[in-house]
Amino acid sequence: MSRLELLFLLSCFPYLFHISDGGSMAVQNENMPPSSPIRAVNLGGWLVTEGWFMPSLFYDIINNETLDGTKLQFKSVTQNMYLSAEHGGGSNIVANRTNASTWETFKLWRINEDTFNLKVDNNQFVTLAGDGVTVVASVPSPGSGEKFQFQMLRNSIKQLIRVRIKALNNGMFLQASTDLVTADYDVQSTNWGDDDPSVFEVKIKDQLQGEYQLCNGYVRIPVGWWIASDPNPPAPFVGGSLEALDNAFIWAEKYNVGVIVDLHAAPGSQNQFEHSGTRDGSYKWATATNIAQTVHVIGFLASRYANSSSLLAIELLNEPQKSNLSDLSALKGYYQDGYYAVRNHTEKAYVIMSTQVYGANTDTTELLDFASNLPNTVIDVHYYNLYADNFKTLTAEQHIEYVNTTRSAELRTVTRQNGPLSFVGEWVAEWDVQTASKEDYQKFAQVQLDVYGRATFGWAYWTYKHVNEHWSMEWNINNKIISLKT
């Protein structure tokens, strides 16, 4: 059984809206919008880490370039060839590739600061074959123990440039010969020169900085406010987020602010991104076991906060990835079970469903008919003028025009009469325009406020605080880019 990547870590955000007394609200056959659309801000990066919000969180971790999920490519200095998991895995590791692509990429599972399991393209792990020396990628999971563990010794503490890799199973270094890689090099000392068959040049292809990476890097450091009042979460996650969320509700009740709780990270990871709490960027949420567990988490949250006057809504899952693993019927099945898990505890709280993202041809209308049959539901769409190629060359004026026409038409199609309410759950006043003036940013923010203000449930800015100024709503308000006059 694989470890649970994440359980109770959520992103939650209060909305800037005076909550009305819902005491008289009976069971509705149709969706009742809030008395005026909510205007909210996401507390992104708070209970589920994303490194780019505050890179300094990772500065004190020893060997912070080699956290979980880091993708490495190794080039033998004697062969001048890259290591490759032949066929992507399931057979030998070879040393005969002039170029590096997916079969030549190894993902780290971090045991400690210098010891790792190595995962190859088809998700198998590296170990030694029956002969005790041939290096193969043939096991479906690394289990525990030295048989699958490799220690990476580096020539420079400051920078990851050259390494030697020791198989802990037999204490020998890996060496590359014409084709094969074997763990039988017994010379302890090295001058890291081009003549040592156990020396490899390393290239970092990709890194992740999420909750898994942070906790597994810091797991031995006790943190003051992570008081162990919640059940012990599975390793490497640390307790305390439940208490933090409890405190958020206490605060929200005191100031009459509503809270939307949004499950950002589901067991197995519902997308490949760090905000899903993934260990290594692989995606395996949509299994019966993981889905049942996720429904359980939703029920747990609903029962804990149903009685709070500040619980406005529960969002069942953030940004599920469109893929053949989560076909729409599996997702709908989950949304239906999650919906009733909430309804078991409250009829009043809205249930929010995020449309599928990241795949080609994602269709934001795909859940409308389904959700229409479920009272007090909301469809969440995320509108960024970023990432896709078509945004890279737009001028400021073209961006503003795009929001005013294309986005506003898109929002109209997901805002159906007698359908679920519409919610722009993430947006940001940021773009790839290099020479934008303050006035350009103000206009861009304003057109988004105008257009997204037509969503029948409301909108939420991504995000409250961020080192990148324009992503921070606090900075935008203080610097008069965003004005929330009513």
Ligand X SMILES: *[C@@H]1O[C@H](CO)[C@@H](O)[C@H](O)[C@H]1NC(C)=O
Q: Does 400 bind ligand X (CB under 6 A)?
A: yes
Whole-number Cα distances in Å, 178 to 82, 97, 192, 219: 11, 11, 19, 41
CA 342 – CA 350 distance, rounded (Å): 9
CA 412 – CA 424 distance, rounded (Å): 12
For residue 397, the minimal CB distance to ligand X (Å) is 9
Looking at the Cβ atoms of 100 and 111, the one nearer to ligand X is: 100
Q: Does 179 bind ligand X (CB under 6 A)?
A: yes
User: Of these, 24, 188, 324, 329, which contacts ligand X (CB under 6 A)?
Assistant: 324
User: Of these, 325, 357, 394, 396, which contacts ligand X (CB under 6 A)?
Assistant: 325
User: Of these, 303, 308, 309, 372, which contacts ligand X (CB under 6 A)?
Assistant: 303
How many Å from the N-terminal Cα to the C-terminal Cα in the chain? 53
**Segment contacting ligand X (CB under 6 A): 211-219, 334-342, 370-378, 433-441?**
334-342
For residue 273, the minimal CB distance to ligand X (Å) is 17
Looking at the Cβ atoms of 300 and 391, the one nearer to ligand X is: 300
Residues within window 422-481 making contact with ligand X, judged by CB under 6 A? 447
Looking at the Cβ atoms of 42 and 93, the one nearer to ligand X is: 93
Looking at the Cβ atoms of 192 and 340, the one nearer to ligand X is: 340
For residue 188, the minimal CB distance to ligand X (Å) is 28
Q: Does 139 bind ligand X (CB under 6 A)?
A: no
CA 440 – CA 425 distance, rounded (Å): 23
Q: Does 299 bind ligand X (CB under 6 A)?
A: yes
User: Of these, 404, 410, 454, 479, which contacts ligand X (CB under 6 A)?
Assistant: 404
**Segment contacting ligand X (CB under 6 A): 90-98, 137-145, 210-218, 382-390?**
90-98
CA 328 – CA 334 distance, rounded (Å): 10
User: Total binding residues for ligand X by CB under 6 A?
Assistant: 23
**Segment contacting ligand X (CB under 6 A): 15-23, 96-104, 117-125, 235-243?**
96-104
Residue type, 204: I
For residue 364, the minimal CB distance to ligand X (Å) is 21
For residue 47, the minimal CB distance to ligand X (Å) is 20
For residue 191, the minimal CB distance to ligand X (Å) is 27
Looking at the Cβ atoms of 3 and 87, the one nearer to ligand X is: 87
Q: Does 329 bind ligand X (CB under 6 A)?
A: no
Looking at the Cβ atoms of 243 and 337, the one nearer to ligand X is: 337
Residue type, 376: N
User: Of these, 1, 26, 59, 157, which contacts ligand X (CB under 6 A)?
Assistant: 59
For residue 190, the minimal CB distance to ligand X (Å) is 25
User: Of these, 65, 113, 114, 184, which contacts ligand X (CB under 6 A)?
Assistant: 65
Looking at the Cβ atoms of 141 and 303, the one nearer to ligand X is: 303
User: Of these, 15, 17, 58, 212, which contacts ligand X (CB under 6 A)?
Assistant: 58
The interface mask with ligand X, positions 339-368, x = CB under 6 A, is -xx--x------------------------
Query: Per the omega criterion (within 30 degrees of 0), is the bond before 236 cis?
Result: yes
For residue 64, the minimal CB distance to ligand X (Å) is 4
Looking at the Cβ atoms of 191 and 329, the one nearer to ligand X is: 329
Residues that bind ligand X (CB under 6 A): 58-59, 64-65, 94, 96-99, 179, 207, 299, 303, 307, 324-325, 337, 340-341, 344, 400, 404, 447
